[in-house]
Structure 1
Amino acid sequence: MRCFLQKKTWVSIISVQLLCIVLLYWTATTPPSVDVGPNQSHKALNVLQERLHNVQRTYKNIPYVIKESVASRLALNGCVCEADKKPAIDLPFAQLLFPRVWAQNDFHTAFQEAELAKVKSRRQQEFNSFRQRYQTPADFLVIAEANSPLQYPTQGIEVRPLRTVVIPGLALKEKSRPLHTVNLTATLGTFDVSATVDGVSVKGVAAMHMTLSSSDLDTLNRQLQFITYTNTLFHPKTADTVQFETDGHQSVFTIKVGHPVTPKLYYSGSTNEYNISALVTIATKTFLRYDKLQDLIDSIRKFYRTVTIVIADDNEHPQPVTGPHIEHYIMPFAKGWFAGRNLAVSQVSTKYVLWVDDDFIFTSNTKLEKMVEVLEKTTLDLVGGAVREATGYTASYRHTISVEDGGEKGDCVHIRNGYYHTIHGFPNCVVADAVINFFMGRTDMMLQVGFDPRLARAAHLEFFIDGLGTLHIGSCDDIIVNHASKIKLPWGKLDSEKAYEKFRYYSPNSSQIKNRLFFFKNRLQCISSN
């Protein structure tokens, strides 16, 4: 008996030790909390700006003469819209033969004088957020200080189509010699100088190849500070490759050519609080389930009485769905699931759109304010919530997606349950690649990815595969919407419910269509998931 108790004691001690080891391992492997706020790029920008300032303040004591014909083409930190002066004599057909430039400078008058200051402040706030979201450290100017004798910008130079820009950071760092020489060669533009420096020979002005030489190195470097590049050949989303050479050394850097991304800002009022009605539109697609759709609308109105609800409807015999702040759009019969998503989202004019299925039910846990807060304070484009089934089970459906290069056969997509890390400041939120079909996203980003209308019946992950590399996605499991019960006995189902199941689950070509899209559109050879 005593021996048995001793064995039992040892088993208990070992079990406790094993439990501690498991807990320690679990804690050690828990994904870290990572800050995905929009201000992270500024840390890198501050470092790069300090280095750039150090480069630019050299050779200030060497005089120069402005070359007005070139300097006038450079972009300044300001712009005006000016109309051509009206001629003294207005001849017939003069506008056709010699079209005049017109200009409009009164956009601000669309707002009342009393609210204009608040509108400007809000616009600047939205624009700052836009720039922080779309700029990364890879866009900032970086100067490669001379490890070889050549100093040059490694990234961050951009020029508008057919416009001119100064190339910053060019310099030659070498020992004194009788003659110092550098060469510049481009393929999509020409070089010039915005100012001239005495004692420097410049050959190849307004040409794709330029040679500069001087017996004095500092004088040559001063002249290099005024080198300009003018784009002469424009192709969207391209870059010129510039060769920068001296005796025995060669470097290459790029100049991006293109238009900047036009901001698309949403004005939701000047209040500091989140105005959900001005920020969010709720979108859904309905088919043969008007009773459940009405339950959804009724539940939304308990908590959000003035939020606009957009409904895409592809029923064969549509029924009217009316009420304040409801937009009901009729589609061709059985047009499909993703086509309905496309239609609904295309009609949204607010900054964010919340997607819900027509058999969801809002509760006090369906906190749209929390979703908006996450999107406003992070770089996320889309954030999902959780869905609570009638059984009490709550699912957040978080997945990571990775693409493996497969060569000529096509790539492989691997989908796994899980996420990358929690979000700093939001302990119930994580970063993932795919979430459940209850999510709020930036309207412009969701429109950019779109929903393939060929996926007519069962589809969900296909949207996130299309959006991989474009959408930055999160998931919060404390924002919950209820799911109407699907548990019904066969003899208790309505004819509409039977018809819905037939369309949803028994489409003969649904799988074949997906496979064709995966193979050709996404260039895949296989997919794996758990």
Structure 2
Amino acid sequence: MMRCLVQKKTYLVILSSLLLFALLLYWTRRAPTTVDVRSGQSYKAQNVLKERLQNVQNSYDNIPYVLKESVAGRLALNGCVCEADKKPAIDLPFAQVLFPRVWAQDDFHTAFQEAELAQVKSRRQQEYNSFQQRYQTPADLLVIAEANSPLQYPTQGVEVRPLKTIVIPGLGLKEKHRQLHTVNLTATLGTFDVLATVDGVSIRGQGMMHMTLSSRLLSTLNRQLQFVTYTNTLFHPRTADTVQFETDGHQSVFTMKVGHAVIPKLYHSVYTGEYSISSLVTIATKTFLRYDKLQDLIDSIREFYPTVAIVIADDNEHPQPVKGPHIEHYIMPFGKGWFAGRNLAVSQVTTKYVLWVDDDFLFTSNTRLENMVEILEKTTLDMVGGAVRETTGYTATFRHTISVEEGGEEGDCIHIRNGYHHVIDGFPNCVLADAVINFFMGRTDKMQQVGFDPRLNRVAHLEFFIDGLGILHIASCDDIIINHASKIKLPWGKSDSEKAYAKFRYSSSDAVQIKNALFYFKNRLKCMSSN
């Protein structure tokens, strides 16, 4: 008997050791656990690429050239002016209709007092730098493929505005001496020309979609290639021209983006020192049949943030007034729904950030909006989710990762898993995820860009993050906590409004069918997996 017990203990120890080893092996094989999403990280790659480009551009500086004024006048300069046409000496009737003049305005800065203009300019530049950091990636940087083929050309980062002209950077030919060195350029959406001419180089096809350059000296040909220009001639607000660049026995293809510049959407928030939540953040919520809980939420907000704006979307059949300072109450058609209310509330936000809360949440001393703002201000993130503490004491973060797998003609497969990608460097309580809990702060313009599908009127949450996959960069922090009002109620203790709310909230027979239809058609999905 004793021997049998010893054997069982031995087996138990061995089994425990194997389980521990398996766990250690699993954790050690995981990807790196931290990632740096602070602003300015792309500058490292940018500096390396700039140095290489400078070396390419400085080649053949000793070879003279003659500027071609007709082409130089078309190039974009590092500056711009808005000029109005001169007013005619004689003001004829209908002159503006027959000969419309260009008007110009160059006094936007006068919207601000002269004493504050310097501070406004500084703040605007800071916001613009942050905007560029969020929207530009290393994939937008100019990269030159140095001659291995022997052609040298830009592989990425070349962009031209519609119907405008640029100098194509990085063109070159690196080959052994021959009787005549020749290269050909062919475009599909524009024409080629040269900004300047170099003696000893023959050019055919200037102003055409196909241009040939040749020279007996390789150095003079390479000098001439530094002045090759491209002019987009076919308008499209967002496309790319595929350029063929070839020499005897070798051919390469590279693309040049054609598109308008993205107009920044900057938020002018007046604050110095510590973050001013009132000027940076608006709190948004939607209410339906729960005015008592809504008032509790407002009271809890005012305890910690007495002047922050609150936007309320309300689709009650018999709306009640919700009054108080810094409150905007918008009435919707009866029963319009959950995501329609979110859309309405977020559409009215004018601050840089919007905080979404449910109407049965309660602010506490742990609901530190300053922490959320700090993360968004110091990183390239678009959204930060917090944690919700239930009355049972359990704190939920509801973190998910989402991935899409291509599935052919039948549609794609979407996979949703509990968990996160990485811990954020510098913010140990925060992780990167693709979906977060129903308590989050986001950049207003990004949330408006994704939007909330109003057809999801009863039960919806993850659908917003599915629509935002690839658009939103999201974090989840477990040290920023909001409380959830108690949901524990005995059936005979529920009020009439609570019973009516439950009926609308949980008994929609076609809600699942609507979701499935949207997943299938709008998101082109054939299936979903989750845990």
TM-score (norm 1): 0.97
Structure 1 pair 158–465 and aligned structure 2 pair: CA distance change class (3 A): same
Paired residues for 1:139-158 under 5 Å: 139-158=140-159
* Partner residue, 1:296: 297
* Partner residue, 1:475: 476
Distance 1:201 1:13 in 2: 84
* Partner residue, 2:458: 457
Question: Does the aligned pair in 2 maintain the 1:242–1:254 contact within 8 Å?
Answer: yes
Distance 1:270 1:392 in 2: 36
* Partner residue, 1:360: 361
Question: Does the aligned pair in 2 maintain the 1:311–1:329 contact within 8 Å?
Answer: yes
Deviation string for 1:36-81 (max 9, x for gaps)? 1121111110110011000000010111111111001101111111
Give yes or no for the alignment of 1:335 onto 2:352.
no
Mean Cα displacement is larger for which, 411-420 or 113-122? 113-122
Deviation string for 1:18-41 (max 9, x for gaps)? 687467447535651110112111
AA matched with 2:168: I
Question: Does the aligned pair in 1 maintain the 2:271–2:279 contact within 8 Å?
Answer: no
Distance 2:298 2:401 in 1: 32
* Partner residue, 1:386: 387
Question: Does the aligned pair in 1 maintain the 2:200–2:215 contact within 8 Å?
Answer: yes
Distance 1:147 1:371 in 2: 49
* Partner residue, 2:248: 247
Give the secondary-structure state (helix, strand or coil) at the position aligned to 2:220. Answer: helix
Q: 1:4 Cα shift?
A: 9.8
Distance 1:77 1:236 in 2: 22
Q: 1:474 Cα shift?
A: 0.7
Q: 1:460 Cα shift?
A: 0.4
AA matched with 2:48: V
Distance 1:240 1:482 in 2: 54
Structure 1 pair 515–7 and aligned structure 2 pair: CA distance change class (3 A): closer
AA matched with 1:317: H
Distance 2:2 2:490 in 1: 59
Give the secondary-structure state (helix, strand or coil) at the position aligned to 1:95. Answer: helix
Give ranges in structure 2 of 5+ residues lacking alignment: none
Q: 1:90 Cα shift?
A: 2.0
Give ranges in structure 1 of 5+ residues lacking alignment: none
RMSD after superposition: 1.8
* Partner residue, 2:66: 65
* Partner residue, 1:397: 398
Mean Cα displacement is larger for which, 178-187 or 85-94? 85-94
AA matched with 2:283: I
* Partner residue, 1:56: 57
Structure 1 pair 309–169 and aligned structure 2 pair: CA distance change class (3 A): same
* Partner residue, 1:85: 86
Q: 1:378 Cα shift?
A: 1.3
Paired residues for 1:22-41 under 5 Å: 24-25=24-25, 28=28, 32-41=33-42
Give yes or no for the alignment of 1:102 onto 2:103.
yes
Deviation string for 1:328-385 (max 9, x for gaps)? 0000000000000000000000010000000000000111011111111111111110
Give the secondary-structure state (helix, strand or coil) at the position aligned to 1:212. Answer: strand
Give the secondary-structure state (helix, strand or coil) at the position aligned to 1:76. Answer: coil
Structure 1 pair 226–316 and aligned structure 2 pair: CA distance change class (3 A): same
Distance 2:63 2:480 in 1: 64
Paired residues for 1:155-174 under 5 Å: 155-174=156-175
Paired residues for 1:133-282 under 5 Å: 133-282=134-283
Runs of 4+ in structure 1 over 3 Å off:
1-27
Structure 1 pair 264–401 and aligned structure 2 pair: CA distance change class (3 A): same
Give the secondary-structure state (helix, strand or coil) at the position aligned to 2:103. Answer: coil
Question: Does the aligned pair in 1 maintain the 2:310–2:327 contact within 8 Å?
Answer: yes
AA matched with 2:297: L
Distance 2:3 2:289 in 1: 71
Distance 1:374 1:351 in 2: 14
Give yes or no for the alignment of 1:407 onto 2:404.
no
* Partner residue, 1:127: 128
Mean Cα displacement is larger for which, 97-106 or 498-507? 97-106
Question: Does the aligned pair in 2 maintain the 1:118–1:270 contact within 8 Å?
Answer: no
Distance 1:91 1:301 in 2: 62
Question: Does the aligned pair in 2 maintain the 1:212–1:220 contact within 8 Å?
Answer: yes
Distance 2:40 2:336 in 1: 43
